[in-house]
């Protein structure tokens, strides 16, 4: 049976007209589905019982469900989220003093092969549907209200998958999350994080979504990047930079570079200088992310000294740099660790 949430408002309108009902009925149902995130026809209280029964006979609503919820000592909540076909993704709620952030997945597994990321070890099984992305946000919003008495404030597409490889659904989900007739959240508090697919970055710039963009850079030295993120061979840094400049020109929104410092890999002066040179080409800032070990020995050498040097040199060069503490490490909810240790996939 068809999932009613695969229908657009226009298609839903056509449907109600085709069964001899009123066009405005579509708006009412759409509101239950996308604004109130309701998962059963039975609760649609302004729809008559006979009509609810017709809908029940003709459509399904495939909600996601929380299969396993783990709470970290630092308040981070990791959800193993079950999809209608039994596959699992992970969605994380990250509370701080001032905000609660949802870290959502865009794919089941990932097709990229970043050596340092746990998700890369999983096969990409499929893209998430629009509703599956929106459901993650709605469920974390409810958790935020339940556990922290405040609604979700930020959303980052930094869970499983590469959002720009599930482009259409991610863009449509963002529209549904931000539209007043959807969840009504602010696009400026949404960050799409990508490993860097130039063509798709440009396309996203043209959507006028008003979201923020982050690039997982990790090194601005081409050869090194190709080694630790092998897929990037197809996307030279010059092309990525050109796409980022296009992004800035179109959106006026500063780009964040996500960057882990690994002893023996990117802790040298030449690495810092390459990063500074890269940053100077487009309005940007740097997030130094604390690496979460995933059992790949090569990346396990943290160098606090090198991190400090990065901060000093970047600041000297007038580049904004932030050091991001890792959250949820004790429950494997931290970046790159979302690899379904529950073992069902």
Residues of the shown chain interacting with ligand SAH in the complex, contacts defined by CB under 6 A? 116-117, 158, 162, 193-195, 216, 258, 260, 289, 291-292, 294, 335-336
Q: What minimum distance in Å lies between the beta carbon of 218 and ligand SAH?
A: 6
Q: End-to-end distance of the chain based on CA atoms, in angstroms?
A: 24
Q: What minimum distance in Å lies between the beta carbon of 319 and ligand SAH?
A: 18
* Residue whose C-beta lies closest to ligand SAH: 336
Single out the catalytic residue among 43, 56, 90, 117: 90
Give 44 or 155: the residue with its C-beta nearer to ligand SAH.
Answer: 155
**Has 260 been annotated as catalytic?**
no
Q: What minimum distance in Å lies between the beta carbon of 120 and ligand SAH?
A: 8
**Has 129 been annotated as catalytic?**
no
What are the backbone dihedrals phi and psi of residue 198, each rounded to the nearest 5 degrees, phi first?
Answer: -50, -50
Give the CA distances from residue 6 to residues 33, 59, 60, 130, in Å, rounded to whole numbers and listed in that order. Answer: 11, 10, 10, 8
Q: What minimum distance in Å lies between the beta carbon of 223 and ligand SAH?
A: 18
Give 136 or 193: the residue with its C-beta nearer to ligand SAH.
Answer: 193
Single out the catalytic residue among 103, 114, 117, 335: 335
Give 193 or 251: the residue with its C-beta nearer to ligand SAH.
Answer: 193
Q: What minimum distance in Å lies between the beta carbon of 159 and ligand SAH?
A: 7
Give 194 or 340: the residue with its C-beta nearer to ligand SAH.
Answer: 194
275 neighbors 218 (Cβ within 8 angstroms): no
Q: Is 233 exposed, middle or buried (0-12, 13-18, 19+ CB in 10 A)?
A: exposed
What are the backbone dihedrals phi and psi of residue 114, each rounded to the nearest 5 degrees, phi first?
Answer: -60, 125
Q: What minimum distance in Å lies between the beta carbon of 40 and ligand SAH?
A: 32
Give the CA distances from residue 231 to residues 115, 194, 317, in Å, rounded to whole numbers and listed in that order. Answer: 10, 13, 30
CA-closest candidate to residue 283, choices 305, 263, 265, 257? 257
Give 273 or 290: the residue with its C-beta nearer to ligand SAH.
Answer: 290
Give 195 or 251: the residue with its C-beta nearer to ligand SAH.
Answer: 195
- Rg (Cα) of the chain, in Å, rounded? 21
Q: Is 61 exposed, middle or buried (0-12, 13-18, 19+ CB in 10 A)?
A: middle
What is the residue whose two structure tokens read 């996308």?
Answer: 34
Q: What minimum distance in Å lies between the beta carbon of 2 and ligand SAH?
A: 30
For 26, the token pair is 């579509």
Give 62 or 79: the residue with its C-beta nearer to ligand SAH.
Answer: 79
Catalytic residues: 90, 335
């Amino acid at each position: 049976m068809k999932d009613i949430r695969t229908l657009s408002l226009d298609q839903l309108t056509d449907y109600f007209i085709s069964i001899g009902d009123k066009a405005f009925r579509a708006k009412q149902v759409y509101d239950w589905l996308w604004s109130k995130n309701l998962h059963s026809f039975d609760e649609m209280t302004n729809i008559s019982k006979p009509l609810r029964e017709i809908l029940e006979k003709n459509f399904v609503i495939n909600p996601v469900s929380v299969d396993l919820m783990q709470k970290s000592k630092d308040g981070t909540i990791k959800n193993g989220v079950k999809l209608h076909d039994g596959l699992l993704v992970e969605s994380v709620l990250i509370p701080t003093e001032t905000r609660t952030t949802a870290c959502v997945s865009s794919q089941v597994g990932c097709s990229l092969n970043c050596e340092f990321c746990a998700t890369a070890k999983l096969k990409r099984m499929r893209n998430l549907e629009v509703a599956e992305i929106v459901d993650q946000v709605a469920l974390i919003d409810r958790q935020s209200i339940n556990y922290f008495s405040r609604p979700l404030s930020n959303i980052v597409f930094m869970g499983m998958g590469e959002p720009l490889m599930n482009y259409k659904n991610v863009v449509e989900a963002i529209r549904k999350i931000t539209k007043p007739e959807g969840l009504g959240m602010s696009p400026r508090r949404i960050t799409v994080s990508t490993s860097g697919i130039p063509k798709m970055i440009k396309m996203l710039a043209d959507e006028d979504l008003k979201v923020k963009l982050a690039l997982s850079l990790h090194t601005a030295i081409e050869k090194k990047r190709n080694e630790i993120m092998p897929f990037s061979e197809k996307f030279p840094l010059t092309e990525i930079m050109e796409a980022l400049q296009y992004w800035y020109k179109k959106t006026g929104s500063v780009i964040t570079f996500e960057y882990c410092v690994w002893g023996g890999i990117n802790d040298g002066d030449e690495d810092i200088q390459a990063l500074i040179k890269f940053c100077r080409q487009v309005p940007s800032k740097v997030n130094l992310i604390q690496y979460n070990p995933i059992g790949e020995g090569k990346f396990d050498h943290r160098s606090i000294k090198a991190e400090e040097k990065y901060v000093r040199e970047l600041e000297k060069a007038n580049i904004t740099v932030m050091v991001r503490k890792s959250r949820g490490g004790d429950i494997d909810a931290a970046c790159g660790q979302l690899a379904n240790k529950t073992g069902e996939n």
